[in-house]
Structure 1
Amino acid sequence: MPRRLHHGWVIVAAVATILAIAMGQLVNGLSVFFVPLEAEFHWPRGGIALINAAGLLGLAIGGIVMGRIADGTPIRTVCLVGVVMVGACVTLASGADRLWQFYLLFFLAGCFGAALFAPLIALVGSWFPAGAGLAIGLASAGQALGQGGVPFATAYLIEAVGWRGAFLALGLASLALMVPLAALVREPPRAAGGAAMRVEGTPPIPPRLAVVWLSASVLLCCACMAVPLMHLVPLLQGLCISGTDASGVLLSMLLAAILGRVAFGKLADIIGPIPAYMAASAWQTVAVFAFTQIQDLGHFFVFAPIYGFGYAGVMTGVLVTARALTPAPRRATLMGVILAFAWLGHGIGGFQGGYFFDLTGAYTVSFANAALAGVVNLLLMGTLFLAIRQRRVVAA
């Protein structure tokens, strides 16, 4: 048992680092490329935002396919294919000069990059049949680190070598770092998998109902969170704040998000997955519109980490809730479906942020729409929580 748990933490560390590198590029890494691409090609911001949306659409579609494949294929094989394709597509983006080329490359990166999220998070959960919230929180914290660290480092790369050089450096570094990490991942021993299934018990509601409910919820909560992730940097640049300072604010938000993901993972172990998810969603929904009311760089540096700590718990809450409501034998498949709607929500949120900026010349409507999506998400999750509690009362 100690040996199994020891390697489980190796898996957590490897997964966290892979998610930091890959998701940092696919989820919001494009945020620091808005202004350089706009300046060189004179493309509308909504069109540039669709590059990110194409990657997220790829994550959505690929998540369903890769989840099914991962349930019957060695996880190391699935992971190696994913990291090679992500690195290759980002490298090739350095030579793109048409929007459709960016759309295609990021769509393909997302399709194969989907092998690096739902299957790997399901893998982490299978190594920790009890107290999985903390392990999943730590693994997903890697994504938060990457979503802050990758744009921050990229901003300096763009200043030093231009946007093409930045894409090239990111792609090659991704391959060099992620391929060895992918070689470390493996499934838990069969006996441990059996023990995990016995400890988990039966999901409280039918899995199909859980998937439909959670898919609708995450579509909305991720549409909310995508707006500051994708548009905080250009929002600050519109206030005459430099790209490096703006990416520093994003980094401070996502450094706090690392702590938030771990904290809300532990909270889920204490109060339950759905209440923890709702607490983080409420935090995000209440705070997101405030970004449009701040003008001073110092105030952004104060507020962004406060927002980041709470918003980060949303993804941990989604993952732990999905784990609690899905059966282990089909978990990668069902989590792939749920997370497909999460990525779609990210794409929709990021696109509408750019679209309404193009229409109005400001981000007020974009961030207001984000808050509205958060409110509807809370209503859905509150209804799900009450439905599960009622079922348990009737069963007792």
Structure 2
Amino acid sequence: MSSHFSPTADRFVPDSRQAWLRLVVAVLIAAVGAVGMWSVVVVMPVVQAEFAATRGAVSLAATAIFFGFGLGGVIMGKITDRVGIIPAMAISIALLSASYVLAGLSTALWQFIAISFLMGLGASATFAPLMAEASHWFERYRGLAVTIVASGNYIAGTFWPPLVNWGTQAHGWRATHFAIAVVCGVLMTILLLVLRQIMGGAAAHDHSNAPAPRVDLNLSTNTLTVLLCIASIACCVAMSMPQVHIVSYCGDLGYGPARGAEMLSLMMAFGIVSRIGSGFIADRFGGMVTLMIGSVAQAVALFFYLFFTSLPSLYLISAMFGLFQGGIVPSYAIIVRETMPANEAATRVGIVIFASVIGMSFGGWVSGVIFDLTGSYAAAFANGFAWNLLNIVIVLMLLMRKRQQLVPA
């Protein structure tokens, strides 16, 4: 048997064929499990009608999923650091399947909203902890590996919504939720058993052979985590403005919500391209440079939204926005691995990703408040641009510290 397939941790080789096999299975798990982030958007109208609720009330289900997803990233990250990704993912599968069964059985909107938090918690292990775990398997291609795993979320956003919509139209949203529970439970369990076989027993949670940090910023891990959290909140407040409000914005401009939905799909599609592309950039120049490029480019796209409102220009800017922002969030995971020890990477990545979720939630809400106060999205776009500048300042400061550290060497 080849050494690449040995179950012992000391014989595992980063960037090996075994590492790539692990990565393929990991992205498949992410693509299935990330349904928890997308299904609620599809069923919101029918759930709203059934419970005779307002749009604002039923939207709380999406907010609950975001917070469950963010908090779960920290909890599952801690479990991953302690006992490995396999037990963390097993808990995730159980939570995800149970939440879809319970959602299908809910008899009141408050129950559906509460269960949505559990749904986000279940989906959480497929993002931050899985990105951190994949970073241990690679050294030369670490950036590419992290962004490929992160793309699983966007892949799920591509194929799950049409399936959920078809199921809802044909069999109702409750039956669809039961079906998702079964499909996720079975497929993810099979994939997890395959991943466990590839990783081996003890190797599944032994990070002793993971590559060491290669960037020293002369900052404590806690200080750096706080700075990355502030930067993450700032960039995601900016990022949320087009993603949350582009459909409403197109409606206000007289183009109709369908055009806005198409622009949102365009962002997602180009976001996948952006995520993979940013991995190549990160492997060449590092996570901080990749983050700076993405942040500056996102600011440029937001700036364009302020001045161009014709239909063709909005399609073009939305495509640009997707192409520019897709690699931003995975860059934080890469920076954590470049600067912090492997045995706490999943926890730290989870904390920073939670901060990004807070930024997305706050940004989507505050943009709506600004619109209500001003009657226009112009000030909301300007607000997003200002938050984006804060992100650039923090990343620039970290880059300057990195340069200072490298000069004496």
Judge conservation of contact 1:217–1:377 (CA < 8 Å) in 2: yes
Q: What is the alpha-carbon distance in structure 2 between the residues aligned to residue 320 and residue 57 of structure 1?
A: 23
User: How far apart are residue 104 of structure 1 and its match?
Assistant: 1.2
Q: Which residue of 2 aligns with 1:222?
A: 236
Distance 1:284 1:381 in 2: 14
Contact 2:36–2:122 under 8 Å retained in 1: no
Q: Judge conservation of contact 2:100–2:178 (CA < 8 Å) in 1.
A: yes
Q: Percent identity, aligned pairs only?
A: 26
Matched, 1:11 2:26: no
Partner of residue 259 from structure 1, selected from 273, 295, 298: 273
Deviation at residue 79 of structure 1 after TM alignment: 0.4
Mapped contact 1:250–1:304 kept (Cα < 8 A)? yes
The aligned residue for residue 147 of structure 1 is: 157
1:204 correspondence with 2:217: yes
Does structure 1 conserve the Cα–Cα contact (< 8 Å) formed by 2:81 and 2:344?
yes
CA contact (8 A) 1:87 1:172 kept: yes
In the TM superposition, residue 303 of structure 1 has moved relative to its aligned partner by 3.8
Q: CA deviation at 1:214?
A: 0.5
Q: 2:104, 2:381 → 1: CA distance?
A: 31
User: Equivalent residue for 1:334?
Assistant: 348
CA 326–242 in structure 1, closer or farther in 2 if over 3 Å, else same:
same
What does the per-residue CA deviation read over 1:46-78, in whole Å, with 9 as the maximum and x for residues that have no partner? Answer: 444432222222223222222222112142121
Query: Which shows bigger deviation, 100-109 or 351-360?
Result: 351-360
Which of 190, 206, 212 does residue 180 from structure 1 map onto?
190
The worse-fitting range, judged by mean Cα deviation, of 262-271 and 353-362 is 353-362
List alignment gaps of at least 5 residues for structure 2.
6-12
In the aligned structure 2, how far is the partner of 1:66 from the partner of 1:349? 25
Q: Distance in 2 between matches of 1:289 and 1:42?
A: 39
Shift of 1:164: 4.5
- Which among 385, 388, 398 is matched to residue 371 of structure 1? 385
Deviations 1:106-162 (A, max 9, x none): 212223333222221121111113320111121112222223433344445555555
Query: Is this contact kept in 1: 2:71–2:354, CA < 8 A?
Result: yes
Letter matched to residue 204 of structure 1: L
Report the structure number with the largest CA radius of gyration: 2
Partner amino acid, structure 2, of 1:71: D
Deviations 1:242-285 (A, max 9, x none): 65x65444333222211111111110111221011111112222
Superposition TM-score, scaled by structure 1 size: 0.84
**Does the CA contact (< 8 Å) of 1:58 and 1:108 recur in 2?**
yes
Report what 1:82 is aligned to. 92
In 1, Cα distance between equivalents of 2:375 and 2:174: 27
Residue 271 of structure 1: aligned partner:
285
Q: Which residue of 1 aligns with 2:8?
A: none
Is 1:105 aligned to 2:115, yes or no?
Answer: yes
2:217 maps to a residue whose letter is P
CA deviation string 1:162-196 (max 9, x = no partner): 55555444444333432222223345775995443
Label 1:290 to 1:43 Cα distance change in 2 as closer, same or farther (>3 A).
Answer: farther
Q: Which moved more, 1:167-176 or 1:274-283?
A: 167-176
Match of residue 65, structure 1, among 38, 60, 75 = 75
**1:343-354 to 2 correspondence within 5 Å?**
343-354=357-368
Q: Are 1:20 and 2:34 matched, yes or no?
A: no
Alignment pair present for 1:280 and 2:291: no
Distance across 2 between alignment mates of 1:158 and 1:242 = 21
1-side partners of 2:305 and 2:188: how far apart? 34
Q: One-letter code of the match for 2:26?
A: V
- Answer yes or no: is the 8 Å Cα contact 2:36–2:96 preserved in 1: no
- The aligned amino acid for 1:17 is L
1:7 partner letter:
Q
- Aligned-residue Cα RMSD (Å) equals 3.2
Give, as a single letter, the amino acid of the residue that structure 1 aligns with 2:64.
A
Aligned partners of 1:82 and 1:254: how far apart in 2?
25
Q: Give the match for residue 306 of structure 1.
A: 320
CA distance in 1 between partners of 2:88 and 2:125 (Å): 6
Are the aligned partners of 1:32 and 1:234 in contact in 2 as well (CA < 8 Å)? no
Amino acid at match of 2:238: C
Q: How many residues align?
A: 391
Aligned equivalents of 2:379 and 2:41: distance in 1? 19
The letter of the residue matching 2:112 is F
Alignment of 1:23-172 (within 5 A): 23-26=34-37, 29-33=39-43, 35-37=45-47, 43-96=53-106, 98-161=108-171, 163-164=173-174, 166-172=176-182
Q: Is the 8 A contact 2:105 2:174 kept in 1?
A: yes
Partner of 1:391: 405
Unaligned 5+ segments in structure 1 are none
8 Å CA contact 2:99, 2:118 repeated in 1? yes
Please state whether the residue corresponding to 1:197 is helix, strand or coil.
coil
Which residue is equivalent to 1:324?
338
CA deviation digits over 1:202-257, x for unaligned, max 9? Answer: 643321221111111111222222333334345456656465x6544433322221
Deviates more, 1:302-311 or 1:116-125: 302-311
| Paired residues of 1:223 and 1:370 also in contact (CA < 8 A) | yes
Could you tell me whether the CA contact under 8 Å between 1:63 and 1:337 is conserved in 2? yes
User: Which amino acid is 2:346 matched to?
Assistant: A
Map Cα deviations across residues 31-50 of structure 1 (whole Å, 9 max, x no partner).
Answer: 44455555565645444443
